[in-house]
Structure 1
Amino acid sequence: MKLTVNGTEHEVDVEPEMPLLWVLRDELNIKGPKYGCGIAQCGACTVHVDGMAVRSCQLPVGDLEGDVTTIEGLGTPESLHAVQAAWVAHQVAQCGYCQSGQIMQAAALLDLNPEPSDAEIDAVMSGNLCRCGTYPRIRAAIHDAAQKLSEA
């Protein structure tokens, strides 16, 4: 089976019902998406498929239609995506476990809604759980990233 991840085409020999998360982590050694709950409730495994945020723990790779972007493909250390830069500026991460999923969800939100309200941010981000409780910093970082993206 062929799939494109972060702009690179890969061929993997896996069962079609294998979750995308396991293909990314175990077959392609892409460790940004995390296993959190396995039932698409926590958001730690969030990636983009053709720009849309999806929970990779519940998406069978055989059902995949589109290119996958993980946190590793969103930006680079030399050129961070606006959301990544805002996360750093607002010191959002504490333990960091959920943050790749949070960032991917936030980036997808800003692609669809470049000027979200607090209520819209809360609604979209509500499926991404943070045990450290950095929600106020997450919201502030999203507003900051929205502003930076509008200036670009």
Structure 2
Amino acid sequence: MTGHLRPRVLFVCARNRGKSPMAAGLLQQLVGDAADVTSAGTAAAQTGDVDVNPQSRDALIEVGADISQHRPRLLTAEMARAADVVVVLGREARLPVVDGPRIEVWETDEPSARGIDGMERMRLVRDDIARRVADLADRLGIAPVAEGPSR
């Protein structure tokens, strides 16, 4: 990493209401305070009355993680530059060109393309992201403080 005591991980999706907050919540649950974890969106709403996607929230509550207090925030170039690792989730988000952080793009599973919707869809998305988050923590050398989501 870049000399920080804790790696700084930024998860990015388009609206910052679903996939990136889920990834942040799952990594925080897995590693606790061993990493600085945040999320943002490239097209996030700028009003304070927008909440996280309810199905994303409920899918994480099922595994013991709580993102219900999350409010979408718009990605800035400064946020991206301050991170050690930026993970872009999905195809809709377009990351501004920045120097410095390591950037990963995760083409996350999209069950709706196979006709799977509702909570079944969200659980599959959650599980896909959870596997990737555990792999990321391992590659960053962050020891889990928890065994990860129980399913």
Q: Please give the TM-score of this superposition, normalised by the length of structure 1.
A: 0.33
Q: Please give the TM-score of this superposition, normalised by the length of structure 2.
A: 0.33
